[in-house]
Structure 1
Amino acid sequence: MMTTAASLRHSPFDPLHLAVRTQDGLQGAGIGLIPRDFRGLVTLRVDLDREPTARQAVTDATGLDLPTAPNTAASQDRLSVLWLGPDEWLFVVDDPAPDAGADLQTKLTGLLEGVFAQVVDVSGAQAAIGVTGPDAREVLERAVPLDMHPRSFQPGQVKHTLFGRHTGVSLHLKDDQPTLDLYCRRSFTGYVWRYLEDCAKGAETTLAVLADR
């Protein structure tokens, strides 16, 4: 049997044995956690003031304008780009193909030729957890030092914050249900997941494991 890149990959959620707990819909649960499938993740570092042509190059490569307002994101079809800092962005390709991140990296690198910029495929370094449900904001407030109220955290925004005591995460609020995507270092996936389970117990709400759809 031929060994492929796909066959060598292991989900960071495998040690949690979530398949036996997965259900369809919240079914009355206050919060749902979703082990997101593999995604292409690519970081871009570039100073737009020094390299003004970079913005158009990114648009040509992706069809998206780089969000320059702090803590915002832009999305189109299966691609999103999250503002991480004044000169840093994270591209998220909602595609489980092993080469999804590498393909975008190659495309961006080609169109940014001659530009002082850094493009890195970090698909294997990070994991994404979906969070949803009526009690999602309350549960997350027990894990992060943020005001999760809708007046402070609205759809389309991105927040970067400490999580628990040992790591940092990025939160992308996608809609007002609410549904969020939480990005963390792959090696901290189990810690983040179990911490959220403990926070749900502290909030006295039930937690469901949902399939990624």
Structure 2
Amino acid sequence: MKNTSWPDRLFAVWYDRLMEKMEQNTFRPVRKRLLQHARGHVLEIGVGTGANASFYEDRFVSGKVFLDSSFPMLQVALRKGICPQGSLVLGSGSELPFLTGSFDTVVVTLVLCSVKDWKQAIREIRRVLRPEGQLIVLEHVQSRHPVISFFQSLLTPVWKIPARGCHLDRPTDQTLGSCFEWIERDQIVLSGMPFVFGRLSPRPEKECSRDIVSPSVPVAEEAR
């Protein structure tokens, strides 16, 4: 079903302008660094307006599928001409419409914060990845600094209304450990908010628990 609510349309129109300074100063170099590792058949979940699309190295990538739950976001990505129409899929990260073991690389950047059933999304990512595949991530996570963590939780109910369901306080970095192991991991801190990025390899499916448990203490480093 196409999500064409006016808040979703407005968010899609303004997203690039709202993110421009942060993208230019911080995220674009991180995206470029991460996506040089994309290999084989690639699925990007939460493509948004296509911020990652220009950083894939086609000599290493045999095919790309771009998925998003927002139809207006996909329209923006299509108009930019960097995501071919045939590669765009409207769908949910927690119900991926793909066969098990379909992809060599799955990419999620600034996405798991806003997926409603984010733990199911982690299970789905593991399902569609091949055993030798990789997950590439860039996500903001819950701080281990108690004051910052408190304010993340305090602000989330208000923040998620204009920000398409974005939660500031999810311990995504550690929760991913239920289904994946970190190959490469790094972190940046912006205004006290930790952003974790890197690559992970899938654990055996039997280790990917049906009941993924979020840790009580996140592992993101204390903000400096």
TM range (shorter): under 0.3
| More strand as a share of residues | 1
Structure of higher RCO (CA pairs closer than 8 Å, 6+ residues apart): 1
* TM-score, scaled to structure 2: 0.25
Larger radius of gyration: 1
* TM-score, scaled to structure 1: 0.26
